[in-house]
Amino acid sequence: MTKTRTLAALVMAPLAITAVLLLPTPWMAAVSAAAFLIALWEWLKLTDIEDPIARGVLMVVNLMLMVALVWASRSETGGSLVLFQIMTMIGVGWWCLATLWLRFYDFGSDHARHGRVFKLAAATLSIIPAWCALALIHASQPHGNRWLLLALAIVWAADSGAYFVGRKFGRTKLSPRISPNKTVEGLIGGAVAGMIVAVAAAPLAGASVGQLPAIAVVALWTILFSVVGDLFESLLKRHVGVKDSSNLIPGHGGVLDRVDSVLAALPVFALGKLLFDF
């Protein structure tokens, strides 16, 4: 399994980096929309919507929301990203509420009653703002593609740091009922790793030395919210008793398993970038 997981990562990582660095923003938005919609398909399955037609309809609705945002952002001068900024702020607000949801494990677990409705709303509030944030970061000038790669690298570094530190030093469970393997020590190790990557790589994206403290703060919050995204998907899987969102990616589970942290992290990073103007 470890060999398969490594080989899959060696294929996926270069493809993702190449797409971020070389694709123009419209194409990057299209590629990411496809990936996020696959993640949405898996999310809908975790809400016990087994009918492929029903899931397909819900996916089309979310796709149309993306199309509507692009269409409404057009103007005679080339377009505006205000709607994307608004959706990004909505996404940050949603993930703050998701943090509260994590404290109440059983909330939404009864899919025969109200639980499914809340999780369907959560799906849209996770997918659409993350997609808007991704496009917003990539479209920023100058070097938006580098800033997006930095945002992703922060999440990747935090995830790897948390894994290795937690495996070696982990003692205190972070959320034993939702994700028994996560530890406070791993969280701290991941935060340190992610912030080091942020400060070290930010100059390559065009940041000045004076901007590094603000970038470190934004990186910390990005990492903390990425953990919320990871835990929230774990909560969804716990409610239905599955280990992975699908088996689409060998050794890695589904697309949602790979982007759960990113869904929460991107709106936070994008909002921080706007507020601190870096």
Burial of residue 215, with CB atoms counted within 10 A of its CB: 0-12 exposed, 13-18 middle, 19 or more buried: buried
Per-residue confidence (pLDDT) for residue 1, from 0 to 100 = 47
pTM: 0.95
**Reduced 3-state DSSP string for 247-276:** CCECCCECHHHHHHHHHHHHHHHHHHHHHH
Task: Give residue 48's identity as a one-letter amino acid code.
Answer: D
Structure tokens at 16: 């993702």
Q: What is the number of other CB atoms lying within 10 angstroms of the CB of residue 74? A: 10
> CA 94, 97, 103: angle at the middle one, nearest 5?
145
Per-residue confidence (pLDDT) for residue 147, from 0 to 100 = 98
Residues constituting the chain:
278
- Cα separation, 237 vs 46, in Å, equals 6
Closest alpha carbon to 221 in 155, 128, 167, 164: 155
Kindly give, in sequence order, each residue whose CB lies less than 8 Å from that of residue 258, ignoring residues fewer than 6 positions away.
12, 249, 252
H or E stretch including 180? strand 179-183
Per-residue confidence (pLDDT) for residue 56, from 0 to 100 = 96
E strands of 61-178, at which residues?
173-175
Question: What is the number of structural domains in the chain?
Answer: 1
Cα 65 to chain centroid, rounded: 18
Per-residue confidence (pLDDT) for residue 79, from 0 to 100 = 80
Burial of residue 187, with CB atoms counted within 10 A of its CB: 0-12 exposed, 13-18 middle, 19 or more buried: buried
pLDDT along the chain (278 residues), means of 10: 69 92 97 97 94 95 97 84 97 97 92 88 98 97 97 97 95 94 96 98 96 98 98 96 88 90 98 96
Per-residue confidence (pLDDT) for residue 113, from 0 to 100 = 76
- Residue 225 is part of which domain span? 2-276
Q: What is the number of other CB atoms lying within 10 angstroms of the CB of residue 167? A: 13
Local structure of 182: helix, strand or coil: strand
Handedness of CA 215, 255, 229, 127 (dihedral sign): positive
Task: Give residue 194's identity as a one-letter amino acid code.
Answer: G
